[in-house]
Structure 1
Amino acid sequence: MSNTPADLKYTATHEWLLIDGDIVTVGITDFAQEQLGDVVFVELPEVDAAVTAGDGIAVVESVKAASDIYAPATGTILAINESLEEAPELVNSDPFEDGWFFRMRVTDTGELDDLMDADSYIDHCADT
Structure 2
Amino acid sequence: MTLPPDLLYTSEHEWLRIEGEHATIGVTAFAAEALGDIVYVALPAVGQTVAAGTPCGELESTKSVSDLYSPVTGEVIEVNDDLAATPESIGTDPYAQGWLFRVRVEELGETLDAAAYADLTRAG
Counterpart for residue 37 of structure 1: 36
In terms of fraction of residues, the more helix-rich structure is: 1
Q: Which amino acid aligns with 1:32?
A: A
Say how many residue pairs are matched.
Answer: 122
1:126 aligns with 2:119: no
Q: Distance in 1 between matches of 2:95 and 2:28?
A: 7
1:115 aligns with 2:107: no
In terms of fraction of residues, the more strand-rich structure is: 2
Deviation at residue 22 of structure 1 after TM alignment: 1.6
Deviation at residue 91 of structure 1 after TM alignment: 0.5
Task: Provide the identity percentage.
Answer: 43
Query: Aligned-residue CA RMSD in angstroms?
Result: 1.1
Q: Distance in 1 between matches of 2:73 and 2:92?
A: 29
Counterpart for residue 59 of structure 1: 58
1:23 aligns with 2:22: yes
Q: Distance in 2 between matches of 1:67 and 1:22?
A: 28
Q: Distance in 1 between matches of 2:22 and 2:39?
A: 28
4+ residue runs of structure 1 moved beyond 2 angstroms? none
Deviation at residue 97 of structure 1 after TM alignment: 0.3
Counterpart for residue 89 of structure 1: 88
Counterpart for residue 9 of structure 1: 8
The alignment partner of 1:31 has SS state of helix
Deviation at residue 5 of structure 1 after TM alignment: 1.4
Any stretches of 5+ residues in structure 1 without a counterpart?
Answer: none
TM-score normalised by length of structure 2: 0.94
TM-score normalised by length of structure 1: 0.91
Any stretches of 5+ residues in structure 2 without a counterpart?
Answer: none
Q: Distance in 2 between matches of 1:73 and 1:18?
A: 11
